A and B are shown apart, each in its own frame.
Chain A
Amino acid sequence: MSLINTGVDSAIAIAERRRGKLGAALFAGRPESVFLRNVYALKSSNWLVVLSGFVEPVFYLLAFGYGLGKLIGGITDASGNPIPYAAYIAPALLATSAMNGAIYDSTWNVFFKMHFGKIYQAMLSTSLGPLDVAMGEIGWALARGFIYAVGFMAVVTPMGLIRSWWGLMAIPAAVLIAFGFASVGMGITSYLKNFHQMDWVNFFMLPMFLFSGTFYSLSVYPDWLRTIIEALPLYQAIAMIRGFTLGYVDGALVGHILYFVVMIVLGLLFTTKRLRALFLS
């Protein structure tokens, strides 16, 4: 057997092709190999756990939208049009589940891979760069977010809760939201040292879920509080998806989208820097 490869498609030849390209030390152009690793891992994992991410927002919708919604009746939008309560909270639940899925993937899963599985250590002893790892992992979180979003839409559309064709845009919007949270979340996770600190993540997530205009309009708040909430990513996410599913497409939507584009870029830079510091310093 020959153990020393001199062929054209050797690992060395592949790595040398990137020489001189921008960011060659950080990025090998193969995030899909990291994604693929997760496909292999999923094949032999517990499918029920995967399914739970889809079921959660549906349960919330049934309990609050229909259970509580019966007591509330309908609400009216800014121009006075009536909206069924379930149709009001469905987009918020989709946004929240996109956030939760991305955060779960980028905190618990990433924490485990970082400290116990030593998966990243192995990946970064190959010719991969930290940006490949970050993008592959985040890409995985997005694929999951996409499937959950499609599933959720498949349930709520027949219920008549999507009130505009713009509602189709809720699916890519959910992916965009997941991207934003996953890219920042992975960087934050790199600072965490033990499982207890993970509770701090939940400590911020739960109030954000409850108070970001998920179940009621921000108009109930005083102005100063409203400004703070509007700056939080979940409010931006909810407003974006709600705009699409209710068909209120205006300039504000562009602002919400830009918010997440910036969050993604900063998050990726932050995470790549952290992975480099942790494994290649």
Chain B
Amino acid sequence: MPKTKAKVTDDSSPELMIVAKGLTKTYGDFVAVDGINFEVKKGEAFGLLGPNGAGKSTTMKMIASTSQRSGGELTILGKDPNQHGPEIRAHLGVVPQQDNLDRELKVWENLMTYGRFFGLKSAWLKTKIDELLEFAQLEDKRNVKTEELSGGMKRRLTIARGLVNEPEILMLDEPTTGLDPQARHILWDRLFRLKEVGVTLVITTHYMDEAEQLCDRLVVMDKGKIMAEGSPAELIKTYSSKEVLEVRFGSDNNKTMAKQLKGIGDRLEILPDRILVYTEDGEAALKKILAAGMHPITSLVRRSSLEDVFLRLTGRTLVD
């Protein structure tokens, strides 16, 4: 992670792919995105993290030029989506939250028709399709109807489809939601490869491990606002302690025990089922608790993660 940071600061003028200033989207009285600022640099994997309803998908739609902003400024590759929507969309690959593959078509036909929507020639697309099917590990599914694919395959095909126009920016809205662990790992591997060849990734997720795995830099959003920004390591360093001690005293006792735990660790987070003790040394904190005569039902010492940052910033657990 420090390496990435050094690279960015060393480069005096990193190419900015996306710039948002005071970006706002309202639906009637409801403010979905509330004046956010961020920049995405070339070749970076940028994450938008937040609970459901935080405004992630709305932000993605505005970048993808399928939703017009209500206020603020937004430029994608120096172009304003309000004026150059179709042009910007030619730069982008879009992988929506819900698969919108064409169920009436076969796997290769999905790629062919999508490429044609961009005006690409079918002779060129034929070789491109071979390449993309190999990339998505779907070569043997070429002539299968899309509806017969598994969830993981559908998602890989949607990503392959998003790459038909050889985009500079690939937008992924919750790319692994609903996939089993194996399918997720295959997908992450594919996304890493894209990053290696220089594709800029913009990813929304509510999986903390995914954000830590994939993103160079991310923003945490809540209620339409950006709560924090940085690399996963920076965020953990700034908003959490080195280690976390998780103790359980039983659902009914956690609240009363929390009073006795005061003074142990840097900070406490009381969840319905457990208490989190943020500390530089988890084992030492546990010893203190035991020495004070408290006996948790279970205890666990672990390294701090983005989930802890998330809890602190949005003040809630991820319930989806």
Contacts and interface: CB of A to CB of B under 8 A. Distances in A.
Interface of A: 1-5, 9-12, 14-16, 18-19, 24-25, 28, 30, 33-34, 36-37, 40-41, 44-45, 117-119, 121-129, 279-281
Interface of B: 64-68, 83-87, 89-92, 94, 96, 98, 100-106, 109, 112-114, 116-121, 124, 131, 135, 145, 163, 165-168, 194, 197-199
Contacts of B92: 125
Contact of B100 (A30, A36, A118, A280): A118
Nearest to A14: B119
A276 to B, nearest CB: 10
Contacts of A37: 102, 105, 113, 116-117
Contacts of A119: 100, 102
B100 A28 contact: no
A280 B66 contact: yes
Contact of B86 (A18, A41, A281): A18
Contact of B119 (A28, A118, A123, A279): A28
A280 B68 contact: yes
B108 to A, nearest CB: 10
Contact of B91 (A12, A30, A118, A129): A12
A116 B282 CA distance: 51
Contacts of A122: 100-102, 114
A128 to B, nearest CB: 5
Given A117-B102, A122-B102, A280 B84 contact: no
A11 B169 CA distance: 13
A4 B117 CA distance: 18
Nearest to A33: B116
B103 A33 contact: no
A25 B88 CA distance: 11
A18 B83 CA distance: 12
9 contacts: A1-B135, A12-B165, A14-B118, A16-B90, A19-B87, A40-B105, A119-B100, A121-B100, A280-B66
B119 A11 contact: yes
A10 B166 contact: yes
Given A3-B194, A4-B168, A281-B68, A15 B89 contact: yes
Contacts of B135: 1
Given A3-B197, A37-B113, A281-B68, A127 B87 contact: yes
Nearest to B135: A1
A12 B100 contact: no
Nearest to A45: B104
Nearest to B158: A122
Contact of B90 (A3, A33, A127): A127
A44 B148 CA distance: 14
Contact of A1 (B65, B96, B118, B131): B131
Given A4-B197, A14-B119, A122-B100, A280 B114 contact: no
B87 A12 contact: yes
Contacts of A14: 90, 118-120
A4 B195 CA distance: 11
Contact of A11 (B66, B104, B105, B166): B166
Given A19-B84, A41-B102, A127-B89, 14 more contacts: A9-B120, A10-B165, A12-B87, A25-B84, A121-B96, A121-B100, A125-B96, A126-B165, A127-B87, A127-B119, A280-B66, A280-B68, A280-B85, A281-B68
A122 B146 CA distance: 15
A25 B105 contact: no
Contacts of A126: 89-90, 114, 117-118, 165
Given A19-B87, A25-B83, A124-B66, A44 B106 contact: yes
Contact of A127 (B100, B118, B163): B118
Contacts of B120: 9, 11, 14
Given A33-B119, A122-B102, A127 B86 contact: yes
B91 to A, nearest CB: 6
Contacts of A41: 102, 104-105
B172 to A, nearest CB: 13
Sorted nearest first, the 7 A-B pairs with minimum C-beta distance are A5-B166, A11-B165, A15-B90, A118-B100, A126-B117, A11-B118, A127-B90
A123 B118 CA distance: 9
Contacts of A4: 166, 168, 197-199
A24 B86 contact: yes
B70 to A, nearest CB: 10
Contacts of B65: 280
Contacts of A44: 104-106, 145
Contacts of A3: 163, 166, 194, 197-199
